[in-house]
Structure 1
Amino acid sequence: MKLILMRHAIADWFPGQDDHARNLSTEGQDQARRLGSWLKTSGHIPDHALVSDAKRTYQSFAALELTCAVDLMAQLYLAEPATLRAAINAQCHHACLLLLAHNPGIAELARTLIQIPPAHAAFYTYPPGATLVLDWKPEGGSAQLINFITPADLGP
């Protein structure tokens, strides 16, 4: 199956603000729209998405403008890699699954799934909007890199 691991796009932050309720910034909305266009033109179109229920992640998903089914999941908010992997394992019957969540968990999961990392400096920092596309074999847990991209790679 194809597996897409995406970190939410850039969000606003204000002192004292509840982290769970943070909105995407205007830049983040644009990032997510560009990432959605890239997913479609690259043929990486998920048939299902698992999305943290934090405001910035479901706003990122909405801005992707995908038509797949989506599960908003409270357990994905700031989740550890094991929790993220369990969510993926429960949905491994899909042809292409998108997991949209947060750092550090999403970056740590990406590093554990892939044997040969992409030659992209941003892979290790997994900035907002970072997107890893894998050919993942759920039965063995192995994954092969298809692509890794950040919003900065997509231009303005």
Structure 2
Amino acid sequence: MRHTHAEWAPGQDDHARALSARGQEEARRLGSWLKKSGHVPGHALVSDAKRTRQSFAALALTCGADEMADLYLAESTFLRAAIQATSQSDSLLLLAHNPGIAEVASTLVKTPPDHPAFYTYPPGATLVLDYDPQGGAAQLVDFTTPADLNP
């Protein structure tokens, strides 16, 4: 999952950017979608940037989470290694940033979703996979963006 919409101002520290009101609402809707769809993770790996921590909090999930500084603007190879190194749960949420999160999504899925936003991976884009850590590839289960969900 990519974090939801964040505030932006010239000269602002990127790591400290907060979610906008829109981003808060998007994360709440995504959390509801995850629960209703049966995609509730057992554990989460979350970038320690303010906007990713706030996105995770607004999802209102009950799983534990590890906040990781190394996930902030991480490249796809690092994100993939973080996924493979995690043995916390059978179901994992990775909450990070573009371009790394979009790149790891496209390298993991065998058959990409037929969704126009998959390759742009907008804020809040959420890919659900059935992942085989031994084989390194995954089957598509679901993909959504906040724009797909009713307010």
What is the CA–CA distance in structure 2 between the aligned matches of 1:75 and 1:140, rounded to whole Å? 24
Q: For 1:23 and 1:78, locate their aligned partners in 2 and report how far apart those are by CA, in whole Å.
A: 15
Question: Which amino acid counterpart does residue 148 of structure 1 have in structure 2?
Answer: F
Query: CA offsets, 1:89-118, max 9 Å, x none?
Result: 111452110000000000000000011110
SS at match of 2:117: helix
Larger relative contact order (CA 8 Å, sep ≥ 6): 1
Structural mapping, 1:87-102, within 5 Å: 87-92=82-87, 94-102=89-97
Does residue 1:50 correspond to 2:17, yes or no?
Answer: no
User: Structure 1 residue 155: deviation in Å?
Assistant: 2.1
TM-align CA RMSD: 0.7
Q: Which residue of 1 aligns with 2:105?
A: 110
**Fraction of identical pairs, as percent:** 72
C-alpha separation in 2, matches of 1:91 and 1:42:
23
Matches within 5 A, 1:55-66: 55-66=50-61
| CA distance in structure 2 between the aligned counterparts of 1:58 and 1:97, rounded to whole angstroms | 16
Runs of at least 4 residues of structure 1 off by over 6 A? none
> Hey, what's the Cα distance between the residues in 2 that align with 1:89 and 1:15?
37
**Partner SS for 1:34:** helix
Structure 2's unaligned 5+ residue stretches are none
Q: Distance in 2 between matches of 1:13 and 1:142?
A: 35
> For residues 133 and 88 of structure 2, what CA distance do their matches in structure 1 show?
9
Cα deviation digits, residues 44-96 of structure 1 (max 9, x gap) = 11110000000000000000000101000000000000110111111145211
Contact 2:43 2:88 in 1 (8 A): no
Number of aligned residue pairs: 151
What is the alpha-carbon distance in structure 2 between the residues aligned to residue 20 and residue 14 of structure 1? 12
1:149 is the counterpart of 2:147: no
Q: Tell me the residue number matched to 1:72.
A: 67
Structure 2 residue 26 is matched with structure 1 residue 39:
no
Secondary structure of residue in 1 paired with 2:28: helix
Match of 2:11 in 1: 16
Corresponding residue for residue 22 of structure 2: 27
- Matching residue's letter, 2:36: T
TM-score by length of 2: 0.98
